[in-house]
Structures are given as C-alpha cells and as structure tokens.
Amino acid sequence: MERVAASLREKIMPAQQAAQFIKSQMTLAVSGFTNVSYPKAVPTALVQSGHARDLTLIVGAAVGDEIDGALVRAGLLKRRYGHQSNPDLRNAINGGSVLFSDIHISELPMNMNQKTGPRIDVAIVECTAVTEDGLYFGASAGSADAAVRNADKVIVEVNETLPMGLVGMHDIFDVGLPPHAKIIPINKASDRIGTPYMPCSPEKIAAIVLTREQEPAQKFKAITPATRKIGENVVQFIQKEIAEGRLPKNPGPIQSGVGSVGNAVLASLASSGFRGLSMYTEVMQDAAFGLLETGVLDFVSTSSVALCEDSRKRFYDHIEDFRSRIVIRPNEVSNHPEVIRRLGVIALNTPIEVDLYGNVNSTHIMGTKMMNGLGGSGDFARSGRISIFATESLAKNGLISCIVPIVSHVDQPEHDVAVVVTEQGIADLRWKAPRERAELLIENCAHPDYRPMLRNYYECACKNAADKHTPHDLAKALSWHQRFLDTGTMKG
C-alpha cells in the first residue's frame, strides 16, 4: 500500500499552506490520545503564522506541546474540550484565560456526533496512510473518527516515520445515534467488528501534509517501594476474589489508568503467576506491553499505544508480531459502558484523594486547581465488574493525606467505588454502610501519621452530627485542605 493514494496526491501541500484553511474563531478537532499520533506540522505552522485566533480545540485526550502548549503560549486558544496534561495549558485553564469543559471520554465523541457542541470547522488528523476508502490512523484512535465524521474539512498529516504495520491494527465502528444506535457486538477483548480505516470521502479532504516529525516517547515515574506495595495489594485482592469463587481463574479483562501506580500494578501481575489474561482499556502503557511480550497478557484492546522510547522501538521493530494481539479502537468503543459491563472489566484507576465514605476526587487539587481532567476513569468505574481506586496514602512528601474527611471535589461518588487500595492495605467497600466504609478506610488505607487525626474527626462527627447515616462536621470537613493552603501541610 502507498502512503498516499495516487488519486489524492494533488492534495499534497506544505504545512504552511494547509494552515491557511484555519481562520479565527474556528473550532478544530484533532487526533491524538495521551500524546500519541497527534498532528504536529500544521499546528506548528499555525503558531508560526499566528493568523487564526480565538480558537476552540476538541481532543479525545492529551496531545503534545506543539498543540496544547504552543497554541496557549501564542495566545491563539480560547476554549479546550477533553482531557489535557500540558503545564502551560493547565496554568491557562486555572488562570482563567482558557475555558475548559471536562467530560467523560466515552461521551465526548457521542456529543460530537449528536452535534450538541460547537460546529467543527476543521479536523486535523495524523495518519499512517490515506486512500480513497479513508484514513489509516497512527498509534492511537481517540476521538479522531468523530472529528473526521463531523468536520466540514479534513487536513491529513501523513507521518512517514510511522510503520506501515499499523495499517490494519485499528477497528473503527460507528455506533450511531439513539434511538437507532447499534449494539456493539464485542464479546471478548479480541473481537474485531469494524473497518481498519476511517471512511472519509476524498472531497472532504482539503489538504494532505507529508511529515516526519515524531512525538516524544512517554516518560513514567519509576516504580517505588510504595507503588510496588500497592501493586502487590491489588494482586492480592484479585487472587482472593478468585480463591473465594467471585472471579474466574482467568478474570475478566483488566483496565488500567495511565501513570506510575497503574504501571506498578501491572508489573506485579508479571510475578503473580497469571498467564493468558487480556486487557480492555483506553491506554496500553509500558508495563502492559511487557506483559504482552512475556505472555501474561494474550491480547490488548486499547485506544492508544503510549510507550517509552525502548518499548516503542521494540513495538515498531516487531510490529508484525503484535498485529494479531493488539487492536486500537476509538474512544466511543474502548470506553463504552455497554462493552465494559458485558466483558466484566476489572477497572483500576488512580485518585487524587478519597474521603471517609469512598467518594473520589480525580481532577482538582484543593478543590479548585484543575490537574488533567476526568479522562476515562468514570467510564470504567461506573460500569466495571470491580471498580478499584489505588493511590499512595501520602502526597508531597507527607504534607498531604490522600485519605481525607471529605473530598474537595467529587468526580466518582461512593456508589462507583468498590475497593480502595494504598500501600497500607485494602478497603473492600462493597455492601458496606457509610460508617463501615469510614472504619475500613481509616484502619486499612490511611497512613499512620494521619490515622489519629482521621479518627478524631470521625468520632467528633459521629457525636455531633444531627444525623448518623453519613456523619460529618461540616465546619471542619474541609479544614484539612484549608490548613494546607494556609500552612503548606495538612498536619494539625
């Protein structure tokens, strides 16, 4: 297969020329997910020219600095939708100069398809190849299919550094809209139900730009003794569920959020004796790739292959060996509650903080400072067979307790949180009344430095609250957060 079909070569042009299709106040939707396979050349040309301002940007999840950072620094971005992780963009959001609307990853493409938001003027997508049938995406899918489907014009960046082995690894399926939305016929992680390309009529393609710009490889924090212990505790919990007959010997597919805790948990599976497992997740990161190489995992369904440099090189060098063991899906399918519930996915995500009754804050530091966004954690937490939230018990070298009297912002309510794990232990919250949850979280998950403070707060709340089902002392519930803002520590 040629990277650009002969009939489309007349649309090839420099990035600077393609960028002229973008005008001020337009809405752009771009490919990319966890800084993988996002367009680079056209956004860079756009920043260099600076001719289009007050732009709205829609992204399935975080993209690289060429977009999220450079557009902000150039003063071109007005509004951003979807998960993000760039420090300059984060500062602009928290400073109020860029408006940000957070949303469940599975619902972003659905809302794009339902046209509940702004009209999409231009989609910019990175591809491995483009033919008359459509677009063969790079190492992620994200919401690129919805971007192409709903945009007035499409600009394609064909990245010639991407291995042609990516062609055929995707599974693009149009769910459709209610009341005629299609059943998604996935009964195991390895099922393929769609096409390997995103259909796109040649008439819709305004420009094709040839590039050789690679995104930086992923960087994850090294596994620490604390995160290693968290991984061991999660594996211990799963093994106990199997021993007691609540999970099969080879439990349902695993989902893991991005980050050091998720990598540590997956790494613990490698030494646990498990073999032949599968993943149904939104991001395949390094530890999962290693499990695929060693046979702990047989198959991975993902929306993005986000790897460190060494792992990415092994993946690209031996891509033919992985083509039958990896499928890359759009967000609307990878994170769809219907499939997550049917497959019995074991969901593993990392919170910022958890309160005494199991409510989870995944997005805001001290209640007001947005970090990255909700991402897909809620999609899996509310629909998974078991919803596990795993975190270290302390943050900022012990100045912050991750188990608090009340969370400063709620993303996942207690009803979507089944199990909480820290390096201290495991709190199985299923079937527990609120006060039973509080006892488990204090004794099993909180750090010893903060347990006396938590016990004191809880005992006072039980004594003084007018009602005893979910006792709180509202005058003191957020005092820990205020103390940190005032003094730099939660310790009293």
Q: What is the DSSP string of 5-49?
A: -GGGGGGB--HHHHGGG--TT-EEEE--SSSSS---HHHHHHHHH
- Same-domain status, 70 and 190: yes
Active site residues: 282
Q: In sequence order, which residues have a C-beta less than 8 Å from that of residue 447 and are 6 or more positions away?
A: 393, 394, 398, 401, 403, 422, 424
- Same-domain status, 342 and 420: yes
User: Quick one: which H or E segment has residue 323?
Assistant: none
Distance between CA atoms of residues 284 and 274, nearest Å: 18
Lookup: tokens for 48: 């260099």
Quick one: which of 117, 1, 136 has its CA closest to 145? 136
Tell whether 1 is covered by a domain.
no
Count, residues in the chain? 492
**Cα 437 to the chain's mean position, in Å?**
27
Distance between CA atoms of residues 5 and 221, nearest Å: 42
CATH number for 66: 3.40.1080.10
- Same-domain status, 120 and 253: no
Q: What is the pLDDT along the chain (492 residues), one digit of tens a residue?
A: 899 999 999 999 999 999 999 999 999 999 999 999 999 999 999 999 999 999 999 999 999 999 999 999 999 999 999 999 999 999 999 999 999 999 999 999 999 999 999 999 999 999 999 999 999 999 999 999 999 999 999 999 999 999 999 999 999 999 999 999 999 999 999 999 999 999 999 999 999 999 999 999 988 888 899 999 999 999 999 999 999 999 999 898 999 988 888 888 888 988 888 999 999 999 999 999 999 999 999 999 999 999 999 999 999 999 999 999 999 999 999 999 999 999 999 999 999 999 999 999 999 999 999 999 999 999 999 999 999 999 999 999 999 999 999 999 999 999 999 999 999 999 999 999 999 999 999 999 999 999 999 999 999 999 999 999 999 999 999 999 999 999 999 998
- Same-domain status, 233 and 204: no
Structural domain ending residue among the three candidates 158, 177, 211: 211
- Same-domain status, 412 and 444: yes
- Same-domain status, 203 and 321: no
Tell whether 293 is covered by a domain.
yes
Give the Cα-Cα-Cα angle 301, 133, 7 (nearest 5 degrees): 135
- Same-domain status, 419 and 358: yes
> 240-251 burial string, b = 16+ CB within 10 Å, else e?
ebeeeeebeeeb
DSSP character at residue 424: T
Tell whether 91 is covered by a domain.
yes
- Same-domain status, 194 and 241: no
| Phi and psi torsions of 220, nearest 5° | -120, 150
* pLDDT value of residue 21: 98
| Structural domain range at position 26 | 6-211
470, amino acid identity: T
Q: What is the DSSP annotation of 362-375?
A: -SEETTTEE-S--T
* pLDDT value of residue 359: 98
Structural domain ending residue among the three candidates 147, 181, 211: 211
Tell whether 275 is covered by a domain.
yes
- Same-domain status, 160 and 133: yes
- Same-domain status, 270 and 367: yes
Tell whether 492 is covered by a domain.
no
Tell whether 326 is covered by a domain.
yes
Lookup: tokens for 476: 């003191």
Look at the chain and report how many structural domains it folds into.
Answer: 2
Tell whether 219 is covered by a domain.
no
- Same-domain status, 154 and 269: no
Structural domain ending residue among the three candidates 211, 246, 277: 211
Tell whether 432 is covered by a domain.
yes
**Residue tagged 């600009």 (tokens):** 155
- Same-domain status, 172 and 305: no
Residue 375 contacts residue 105 (beta carbons within 8 Å):
yes
